[in-house]
Structure 1
Amino acid sequence: MCNGADAHFNGGIAVIADPLSPLSTGASSYKDVRILDNVVDHVGRTGIIFGDWSTGLLYAVAYDALSKDITISGNTVTNVDSDGIVIGGAKYNQIDHNVVDNAGLVTVRNSSEPSSGGIWPTKARHTTIEYNEVSRVHTQSTDGQAFDVDLLADDTTLQYNYSHDNEGGFLLLEGGGFHGSGVTARYNLSVNDAYTGAKGVVTFALGVLPNSDIYNNTIYIAPGVPAKPFMQDGWSGTTSTAWSFRNNVVVNLGTGTWSTPTGAHAVVDHNLIHGNHTAGEPADANKITADPQMLAPAATAPAGIGNVSGYQLAATSPAAGSGAVIAGNGGQDFFGRPVSATAAPTRGFHEVN
């Protein structure tokens, strides 16, 4: 029933510090843990978990007690009952070049941990999540996203990832009580995520996570798919929190509607939104609605992060050279092509110029 010890700590590969002693702050913290190039298949609960719970009580983080320099790289996690890769209680983390497929297969009703995500940090600081492919994460009672920025996770960067066919969507941002702050999601590709319409491609749960910057991503929704591009989950209306959605390309050939957080500090600007303009699509003074001229977009998402060139744009695309300049843009697109710090970039995950 997942009672007592945290059920997340049951997994294929588990590195744990003080799971039952949150008051012994910093007693068993780790440094320079590397989980590299493993295959984890058909396991109960979590595929790979690093968790240091000697960092304070559940809703607090003692920054100096966090484990440090944790790397989870090059792993393949498939057919797992719940989460793919979880990192908690650590700072300066790197999660890259992993494959997570077919997670969230089982839920235990009436348990404390019924939901699942592909890759997510919690009680973590300074985490980079890049060059991962996450697919077919299932929604049980909730969640089911490829990526989730969860409880008290600060300064998280998600870039150059490929997300497809995840029932819960591409990205879950946890607002509400005990939220973190500072998320940059850039140069990612999402294809046919949130395909049942139960969640959003991007879901804002219980509020907006402060300082969330979502820019230069490409979202493709195939014909007839009821995916909601944005969803407010557990709340609705306006927010005083600062967040932005800029320079993205959304090809929405489906039927799902938008539920967009609004407020004085919300910035929606310089996006290209093409296809079906369904209810709730956000206003954008610099929006383009013309065909972005993808080279050969497949209605069925291809397997493999190296097989997505069909979602690139032609040199004549209206997205080329029409985006807003964004400071600290990472310097390159999904494919490693340089992105200028001063010239107007291409909208979406592919830099044409």
Structure 2
Amino acid sequence: MKKLFLSLLIILFSPLAGVCHHSLQVQHIYYISPSGNDANNGLSPATAWRSIERVNRETFRPGDRILFESDGTWYGQLSPAGSGTREKKIFIGSYGNGKRPVINIGESTGAAITLIGQSWWEIDGLELTSGAPPRLRSRRNGITARAKEGGSIAGITVRECYIHDVWGQVGGAATSTMILISGADEEVLVENNIIRRCDKIGIHVIGKKNVVVRGNRLENLGGDGIIVFQADRGLIEHNIVENSCLRTGDPHLDTGDDNRYDWWPHTAAIWIAHCNETIMQFNEVYHTGRQAGNGDGQAFDFDFGCKNCILQYNYSRDNAGFLLIMDNTHENIARYNISQNDIKFRPTQLVTMFCDTAEQNLLHNNVFYVDHGTSDITYYYGDEYGPMKGKGKKDKGKLGAHFRNNIFYATGQGRFRTVYALGDSLNSAEFRKLEDFHQLPPSKAGTRFYNNLYFGPWMNGLPDDPKAIQADPKLVSPGSGRYGLNSLEGYKLRDDSPCFNQAIAIEMEGEINDFYGNKTGKSPTEIGVFEDAKR
């Protein structure tokens, strides 16, 4: 009895009494080196593990760190077990001084790094590659983090990774994505990654709260650059996408499907769908491609289900178009963007609209510049060919978005045109029938165009704009944009510009900036992307 009493006293007065087992978990740092040994404990550089297979056998705990030695290369696929917490993520990165550690999947299918139903992970500073040629019905991804069926995940960060030469499948059931995060309830950050020479999609995030895609550079992609679905107040900013959409829609491309409609050939550089109050800003898009079967090819897209989203302060140059606005999109705004020669392919699609004017999508205070070819403002009203033949034709008089305070600048051999498009939305842009109209039949005067400035020729006459301003806007150096947002000083207004104090009021929530960071107040006063704070 005396022994029992003493044992109870020890437990009662122990400093660890009442502390749960979870809080006693020790955070470990695990090291992996090409010169290591899987029989080691992995807990120091001197006792490092050697293989990915050994990492995959471990279940990691909150706060653990998995570090690959710099300059090392591993062949295989990483799929570590376990989940972190909001306060203690599990970290995958590197140690030592040198180049990023490399994970090479070779000819394997699947992802270089896979997390299924796992939350609160950070992947930082790895190089992922394959180099193997594509193989039909074989998906190759860079990083995949997805929820289990019926579940969700949270807290996934991917930053400073270099993913290159991963040739997955461009179409069909095995479509490949380099960074795929799917089923995330909250906290997704994809930041400062480089993705080059890959098929099909660069970054695809399906997530809800606190989704941020920032500072990534994507080059030479078969399909889309960045896609974000379902985000509530998401943020896509400071990304550069160059040479995307190069291979989707190729009529000679074998996707492994007997029916060409079993895969989706339409791609764009940066786009969102089913998002609410999500912002795309300070992005640069150059040289999107468009094969014959790709009906898109634009730099940006408000796709199905987008509401109250904003596209601002972006630069689009030499793409197959600037913006696509699908139907079932509501009160989205494109403002203070610069589009330069977005006429890479015929037919051109500077702005393509499936939306209805009642949906109140608005483009204001943008500059559209063209110095060669015909740049189309396109109203798509239905199918004439393909599986949707005869279905869903729309009232032409109700089609479109609202254009206010924009500058349309055509010079050299450039010109603008307003057209209706009738064709197959699941087939090819080249099969679409374009119908010119001198004036688009207005449902109400000024519904579509109002108070825009027009300089240069329009093939079929100016749009129906009751307050059209026909004048040289006196831009500092139009068409002089090169690479980088800092190359666009030429789109400011000269002191003698007719655009000063000519804007109609656009009610904005709070004070915002113009393209150059000047305050606009609660409504623009100038036409175009420049607001003179001194006036």
TM norm structure 2: 0.56
Answer yes or no: is the 8 Å Cα contact 2:239–2:284 preserved in 1. yes
Distance in 1 (alpha carbons) for counterparts of 2:220 and 2:492: 30
What count of residue pairs does the alignment treat as equivalent?
Answer: 320
Answer yes or no: is the 8 Å Cα contact 2:306–2:330 preserved in 1. yes
> What does residue 161 of structure 1 align with?
314
| Deviation (angstroms), 1:43 | 1.1
| Deviation (angstroms), 1:152 | 1.5
Q: 1:198 corresponds to which letter in structure 2?
A: P
**Equivalent of 1:340 in 510, 521, 524:** 521
Distance in 2 (alpha carbons) for counterparts of 1:40 and 1:340: 38
Unpaired segments of 5 or more residues in structure 1? 1-6, 53-66
> What does residue 130 of structure 1 align with?
281
Q: Could you report, residue by residue, the CA deviation over 1:314-340 in whole angstroms, capped at 9, with x for unpaired residues?
A: 021001111112111652100001113
> What does residue 225 of structure 1 align with?
373
| Deviation (angstroms), 1:11 | 5.2
Answer yes or no: is the 8 Å Cα contact 2:235–2:280 preserved in 1. yes
**Equivalent of 2:471 in 262, 269, 290:** 290
- Asked if residue 29 in structure 1 is aligned to residue 184 in structure 2, the reply is yes
Distance in 1 (alpha carbons) for counterparts of 2:232 and 2:508: 21
> What does residue 111 of structure 2 align with?
none
**Equivalent of 2:352 in 186, 203, 227:** 203
| Deviation (angstroms), 1:47 | 0.8
**Cα 1:244–1:206, aligned 2, differ >3 Å: closer, same or farther?**
closer
* Residue correspondence of structure 1 range 65-84 to structure 2 within 5 A: 67-84=208-225
Q: Could you report, residue by residue, the CA deviation over 1:196-246 in whole angstroms, capped at 9, with x for unpaired residues?
A: 341321111375681201100011011x32221x11134476344784210
Distance in 2 (alpha carbons) for counterparts of 1:104 and 1:209: 31
Distance in 1 (alpha carbons) for counterparts of 2:271 and 2:147: 18
**Cα 1:17–1:274, aligned 2, differ >3 Å: closer, same or farther?**
farther
Distance in 1 (alpha carbons) for counterparts of 2:416 and 2:317: 17
Q: Which moved more, 1:273-282 or 1:32-41?
A: 273-282
- Asked if residue 170 in structure 1 is aligned to residue 327 in structure 2, the reply is no
Distance in 2 (alpha carbons) for counterparts of 1:79 and 1:113: 19
Distance in 2 (alpha carbons) for counterparts of 1:17 and 1:313: 50
**Cα 1:102–1:333, aligned 2, differ >3 Å: closer, same or farther?**
same
| Deviation (angstroms), 1:261 | 7.4
Answer yes or no: is the 8 Å Cα contact 2:186–2:210 preserved in 1. yes
**Equivalent of 2:231 in 78, 90, 95:** 90
Distance in 2 (alpha carbons) for counterparts of 1:49 and 1:261: 39
Q: 2:417 corresponds to which letter in structure 1?
A: T
Q: 2:466 corresponds to which letter in structure 1?
A: A
> What does residue 3 of structure 1 align with?
none
Answer yes or no: is the 8 Å Cα contact 1:77–1:99 preserved in 2. yes
- Asked if residue 244 in structure 1 is aligned to residue 402 in structure 2, the reply is yes
Answer yes or no: is the 8 Å Cα contact 2:353–2:399 preserved in 1. no
Q: Which moved more, 1:234-243 or 1:195-204?
A: 234-243
Q: Could you report, residue by residue, the CA deviation over 1:109-129 in whole angstroms, capped at 9, with x for unpaired residues?
A: 425121210111112222100
Q: Could you report, residue by residue, the CA deviation over 1:299-320 in whole angstroms, capped at 9, with x for unpaired residues?
A: 6x41112101112210210011
* Residue correspondence of structure 1 range 229-308 to structure 2 within 5 A: 230-235=377-382, 238-240=396-398, 243-253=401-411, 254-259=414-419, 262-264=442-444, 266-298=447-479, 301-308=481-488
Distance in 2 (alpha carbons) for counterparts of 1:314 and 1:181: 35
Distance in 2 (alpha carbons) for counterparts of 1:116 and 1:84: 9
Q: 1:117 corresponds to which letter in structure 2?
A: A
| Deviation (angstroms), 1:279 | 0.6
Superposed CA RMSD: 2.5
Answer yes or no: is the 8 Å Cα contact 2:353–2:401 preserved in 1. no
Q: Could you report, residue by residue, the CA deviation over 1:2-46 in whole angstroms, capped at 9, with x for unpaired residues?
A: xxxxx9x9755554445xx4xx37685331111111111111111
Secondary structure of 1:345's counterpart equals: coil
Distance in 1 (alpha carbons) for counterparts of 2:494 and 2:203: 39
Q: Percent identity?
A: 28
Answer yes or no: is the 8 Å Cα contact 2:356–2:398 preserved in 1. no
Answer yes or no: is the 8 Å Cα contact 1:101–1:136 preserved in 2. yes
> What does residue 337 of structure 2 align with?
188
> What does residue 365 of structure 2 align with?
216
Answer yes or no: is the 8 Å Cα contact 2:355–2:401 preserved in 1. no
Answer yes or no: is the 8 Å Cα contact 1:92–1:125 preserved in 2. yes
| Deviation (angstroms), 1:286 | 1.8
**Cα 1:341–1:91, aligned 2, differ >3 Å: closer, same or farther?**
closer
Distance in 1 (alpha carbons) for counterparts of 2:457 and 2:402: 22
Distance in 1 (alpha carbons) for counterparts of 2:147 and 2:442: 40
> What does residue 64 of structure 1 align with?
none
Q: Which moved more, 1:87-96 or 1:325-334?
A: 325-334
Distance in 2 (alpha carbons) for counterparts of 1:14 and 1:275: 49
Higher relative contact order (CA 8 A, sep 6+): 1
**Cα 1:237–1:89, aligned 2, differ >3 Å: closer, same or farther?**
closer
User: Greater helix share, 1 or 2?
Assistant: 2
**Cα 1:153–1:220, aligned 2, differ >3 Å: closer, same or farther?**
same
**Equivalent of 1:146 in 290, 299, 320:** 299
| Greater C-alpha radius of gyration | 2
Distance in 2 (alpha carbons) for counterparts of 1:272 and 1:76: 34
Q: 2:278 corresponds to which letter in structure 1?
A: T
> What does residue 494 of structure 2 align with?
314
- Asked if residue 105 in structure 1 is aligned to residue 254 in structure 2, the reply is no
Distance in 1 (alpha carbons) for counterparts of 2:447 and 2:397: 8
Q: 1:95 corresponds to which letter in structure 2?
A: I
Distance in 1 (alpha carbons) for counterparts of 2:140 and 2:508: 38
Distance in 2 (alpha carbons) for counterparts of 1:148 and 1:42: 23
Distance in 2 (alpha carbons) for counterparts of 1:199 and 1:337: 32
